[in-house]
Amino acid sequence: MSAVPEPQLVLSFEDARHVVEEHAAKLRPTGTEKLDLLQASGRVLAEPIHADRDFPPFPRAARDGYAVRASDLLHLPATLEVIAEIKAGAAPEDLPESVKSGQAVAIMTGAPAPHGTNAVVMVEYTKPKQDYVEISRAVRAGDNIVPAGSEAREGDLLLAAGTRLTEAAIAVAASVGKPYVQVYTRPKVAVLSTGDEVVPIDTQPGPNQIRNSNSYSLAAQIMAAGAEPVLLPIAPDEPNQLSQLIRHGLQYDLLLLAGGVSMGKYDLVEAVMAGLEAGFFFTGAQIQPGRPVVFGRAQNKYFFGLPGNPVSTMVTFDLFVRPMLDALAGATPRKLVFLHARLKTDVKTKTGLKRFLPAILSGEFEGVEVELAGWHGSGDIATTARSNCYILIPPDRDRICAGEWVPVLLR
């Protein structure tokens, strides 16, 4: 780590991503709170959740049909006496004490299999005949019955602390009777847009000014990642005011700066950070858009300097910021995973940088194709808004032909 930015701190995309992941692994969430289970959806568990009983608590029918002894179906078709019917939720006193050889019980999915049976024949292979049923297919012991305790035993760990509460995790918590859960508090992320050319969104911009879209796109990405954005005032291209706003931003869990990190005369972020004795882990990545991205730490808080062009800001957030937010929220940072799709039209570009270009994934089912979204540079937010993914172009390819499989990062 360097206290002053140096050119050699421009890393490959993979190395820069790994640097962020290494630092994210050192982070811990700062607090917890107790929430209603549904309010906790999307949050990260701060407590383990254990099974309060065996799952399932009884041998559970996995199909509608007839509970039988498998040995009664060695010769087909077989006719068995139907002695009872069991529905899901049946009380113990409603179950037959035992099922003897030559007998069967009509049973519904989710119902407890009665004592004396060891398989369920699906209803499709049966023909009811008054108090009997004719069965045309054999079964093996255990077919279509989920054994008691096969999913979990009482006391087993079902969800570890650090698990994000997806719909499946919510279902697990509900199944063990947890109306409230302890979760980690949302990290607070300061967002600071910089530059004299940037004005508030409710202001009529001058001929050479732009509205502050970056703070709002970043805020939306922060919320989607499960954190809480804190939008700071726009920082002018003046070192003292910029320094004051950066100091304020460093009071939060993470600071994101948009703009001021390129090589222009008035791009001041790195110089001001160096004055705050910041350490820089990298000052660029070999990608496009987003090459000037900066990652460092000052006053014991991490910060990112994201390029000011709007698409660069959004891309670098997705590529580098998310692991830090996962860690600050209490979750294990997720690895970046690319899918693959067949290219619909040729792509021509320059070599030298790994490119993440706005694209449109289309098609249906297995027949999916991807093509560039007609992008006009890293300021083209209108085209980016119409896209739903990024195509990854390797740094050594200047042309990719239609029909080739290409890596895709979903948005």
Query: Coil, helix or strand for 45?
Result: strand
**Count of domains for the chain:** 4
Same domain, 190 and 239: yes
Residue-wise pLDDT for 285-340, tens only, equals: 999 999 999 999 999 999 999 998 999 999 999 999 999 999 999 999 999 999 99
Give domain status of residue 398, yes or no.
yes
Same domain assignment for residues 69 and 210: no
Question: Is position 2 within any domain?
Answer: no
pTM for the whole thing?
Answer: 0.88
Same domain? For 92 and 231 the reply is: no
* 379 pLDDT above the threshold of 90: no
44 assigned to some structural domain: yes
| Domain annotation covers residue 101 | yes
Give the phi and the psi of residue 282 in degrees, each rounded to 5: -160, 155
Q: What percent of the chain has pLDDT over 70?
A: 96
| 316 and 259 in a common domain | yes
Give me the phi and psi of 53, to 5 degrees please: -165, 175
Of 269, 304, 329, the position where a domain reaches its end is 329
**Helix, coil or strand: residue 246:** helix
**Residue pLDDT, tens place only, 55-92:** 999 999 999 999 999 999 999 999 999 999 999 999 99
Of 279, 303, 329, at which residue does a domain stop?
329
Which pLDDT does position 51 carry in this prediction? 97
Q: Are residues 190 and 285 in the same domain?
A: yes
The per-residue DSSP string of 343-377 comes to ESS-EE--SSSEEEEEEEEEEETTEEEEEE----S
- Asked if residue 317 and residue 209 are part of one domain, the reply reads yes
User: Both 141 and 225 in a single domain?
Assistant: no
Quote the domain boundaries for residue 111.
Answer: 60-146
- Summary mean pLDDT of the chain: 93
* CA 175, 180, 182, 188 torsion-angle sign: positive
Residues 223, 292 within the same domain: yes
Q: Count, in order, helices (H) and strands (E) of the chain.
A: 8, 30
Query: 25 in helix, strand or coil?
Result: coil
Q: Residue 266: pLDDT band by 50, 70, 90 thresholds?
A: very low
DSSP conformation class of 92: G
Contact 278, 3 (CB under 8 A): yes
Judge whether 153 lies within some domain: no
Segment (H or E) for 86: strand 78-86
Is residue 1, in this structure, part of any structural domain at all?
Answer: no
Residue 4 lies in a domain: no
